[in-house]
């Protein structure tokens, strides 16, 4: 039976998670690991069957099962799929290990959107795939900014700014002089993005003045980070990542385990380290000075019992 394939990249946020939900600009990068979706005709009467063979950190799929079901429902609605008339078998695989912070739900959505488009010969543009993935992310995670699905669909390093009036979001591909040697460390804790984003919203409503100041400070971090990245000033990028992390602590999205990972990374020469994505667990992004530094940080993290994955951001 003929199978149609689609891929969706994982992502990591260098600057601006959570702030991006409120219209502040963020910088994120796709990583080369991706989710692969295969769509084929299903047996009559079976509706839409999802076979999820993606690798995961322990417990991820169980914690995310409601979110995944909502995403699937939204994709079915978006593409007006009549499961009774055209049963589908959707199989997920790929080398993106599902964990909080890596954009796994967005990769699921954009890979399936791409594969469904191919299956029905819809000739979808990236923009249309991104729209479908955003609809799925909205159903799954409440009020997403759209940064995850954008990275997952387009790939590359980019500046993303949500249009708070509901129009087109700003997406600008970012060229960097020197790619970044990164270690993505896993705390092993899975969080629900929806819940953490809702908690931050509550916190913001309780403390508007505190958030106004934090947003102002973040804006400065972003303004300094953009030229530092473009010029390949890794030491400066690292310092700014640390400052971004301080602000994330203030808005209550860090946690002990994230802080432990950061401390191991910094003691072993990381130029900067911060949580990436949802927070309160998930992944920590650590910037190393060079390849040797990257090896040292990764080895120290592994020795301390954390998963550590080396990756290069902004490379060709
Ligand atoms: C999640 O990867 C990033 C958040 O900023 C939520 C979002 O942007 O939708 C926490």
Residue at token pair 């939204």: 74
User: Which run of H or E residues covers position 114?
Assistant: helix 104-119
How far does residue 112's CA lie from ligand 1's centre (Å)? 20
How far does residue 193's CA lie from ligand 1's centre (Å)? 7
Question: Are both 53 and 125 inside the same structural domain?
Answer: yes
How far does residue 83's CA lie from ligand 1's centre (Å)? 31
pLDDT tens track for 252-287: 999 999 999 999 999 999 999 999 999 999 999 999
Question: Are both 134 and 245 inside the same structural domain?
Answer: no
Structure token pair of residue 295: 């090896």
DSSP-assigned beta bridge partners for residue 312? 181
The answer to whether the CB of 10 is under 6 A from ligand 1 is: no
The answer to whether the CB of 264 is under 6 A from ligand 1 is: no
Structure token pair of residue 112: 């399936």
Contact 136, 71 (CB under 8 A): yes
Q: From CA 133, how far away is CA 78, in angstroms rounded?
A: 9
How far does residue 79's CA lie from ligand 1's centre (Å)? 24
The answer to whether the CB of 150 is under 6 A from ligand 1 is: no
* Strand ranges of the sheet holding 307-313, from the earlier edge strand across to the other edge: 272-276, 283-288, 180-186, 307-313
Question: Are both 197 and 145 inside the same structural domain?
Answer: no
- pLDDT means per 10 residues, the chain with 316 residues, are 92 98 97 95 95 95 93 97 95 94 95 98 97 95 90 94 94 91 95 93 98 98 97 97 98 98 98 97 97 98 96 81
pLDDT of residue 315: 67
The answer to whether the CB of 148 is under 6 A from ligand 1 is: yes
Q: From CA 123, how far away is CA 117, in angstroms rounded?
A: 6
Distances (CA, A) of 147 to 66, 119, 151, 218, 294: 21, 26, 6, 17, 26
**What one-character-per-residue DSSP string does 2-45 give?**
--EEEEEEEEEEEE-TTGGGGT--EEEEEEEEEEEEEEEEPPTT
pLDDT of residue 143: 84
Residue 213 phi/psi, 5° resolution? Answer: -65, -45
pTM: predicted TM-score of the whole model, two decimal places: 0.93
Structure token pair of residue 86: 């055209």
Helix, strand, coil percentages (3-state) for the chain, rounded to 5, are: 45, 25, 30
**Helix/strand/coil for 102:** coil
Range of the domain at 161: 4-173
Question: Are both 125 and 196 inside the same structural domain?
Answer: no
How far does residue 241's CA lie from ligand 1's centre (Å)? 17
Question: Are both 158 and 211 inside the same structural domain?
Answer: no
Atom of ligand 1 minimally distant from the CA of 253: 10
How far does residue 118's CA lie from ligand 1's centre (Å)? 28
Q: Given 130, 156, 173, which residue is the final one in a domain?
A: 173
Cβ count within 10 A of residue 31: 21
Question: Are both 95 and 211 inside the same structural domain?
Answer: no
Question: Are both 21 and 116 inside the same structural domain?
Answer: yes
pLDDT of residue 100: 87
How far does residue 20's CA lie from ligand 1's centre (Å)? 7
The answer to whether the CB of 145 is under 6 A from ligand 1 is: yes
Q: Which residues, 6+ apart, have CB-to-CB distance to 291 below 8 Å?
A: 181
The answer to whether the CB of 18 is under 6 A from ligand 1 is: yes
Atom of ligand 1 minimally distant from the CA of 147: 8
Q: Are strands 48-52 and 4-15 parallel, antiparallel or unpaired?
A: unpaired
The answer to whether the CB of 137 is under 6 A from ligand 1 is: no
Nearest C-alpha to atom 3 of ligand 1 is from which residue? Answer: 277
Q: From CA 103, how far away is CA 94, in angstroms rounded?
A: 14
Q: How many domains does the chain have?
A: 2
Question: Are both 303 and 264 inside the same structural domain?
Answer: yes
The answer to whether the CB of 107 is under 6 A from ligand 1 is: no
Question: Are both 60 and 147 inside the same structural domain?
Answer: yes
DSSP state of 158: E
């Amino acid at each position: 039976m003929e199978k149609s394939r689609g891929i969706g990249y994982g992502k990591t946020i260098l600057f601006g998670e959570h702030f991006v939900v409120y219209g502040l600009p963020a910088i994120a990068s796709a990583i080369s690991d991706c989710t692969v979706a295969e769509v084929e005709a299903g047996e009559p009467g079976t509706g839409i069957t999802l076979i999820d063979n993606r690798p995961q950190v322990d417990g991820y799929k169980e914690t995310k099962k409601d979110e995944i079901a909502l995403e699937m429902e939204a994709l079915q609605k978006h593409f007006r799929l009549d499961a009774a008339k055209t049963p589908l078998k959707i199989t997920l695989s790929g080398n993106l290990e599902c964990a909080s912070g890596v954009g796994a739900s967005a990769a699921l959505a954009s890979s399936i959107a791409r594969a469904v488009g191919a299956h029905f010969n819809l000739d979808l543009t990236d923009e249309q795939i991104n729209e479908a993935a955003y609809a799925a992310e909205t159903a799954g995670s409440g009020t997403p900014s759209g940064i995850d699905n954008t990275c997952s669909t387009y790939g590359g390093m980019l500046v993303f700014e949500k249009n708070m009036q509901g129009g087109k979001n700003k997406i600008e591909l970012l060229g960097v002089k020197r790619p970044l040697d990164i270690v993505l460390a896993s705390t092993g804790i899975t969080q629900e993005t929806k819940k953490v984003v809702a908690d931050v919203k509550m916190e913001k409503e309780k403390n508007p003045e505190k958030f106004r100041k934090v947003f102002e400070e973040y804006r400065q971090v972003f303004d300094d980070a953009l030229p530092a990245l473009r010029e390949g000033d890794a030491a400066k990028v690292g310092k700014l990542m640390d400052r971004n992390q301080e602000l994330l602590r203030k808005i209550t999205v860090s946690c002990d385990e994230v802080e432990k990972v950061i401390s191991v990374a910094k003691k072993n020469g990381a130029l900067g380290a911060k949580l990436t994505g949802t927070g309160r667990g998930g992944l920590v992004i650590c910037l190393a000075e060079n390849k040797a530094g990257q090896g040292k940080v990764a080895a120290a993290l592994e020795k301390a019992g954390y998963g550590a994955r080396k990756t290069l951001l902004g490379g060709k």
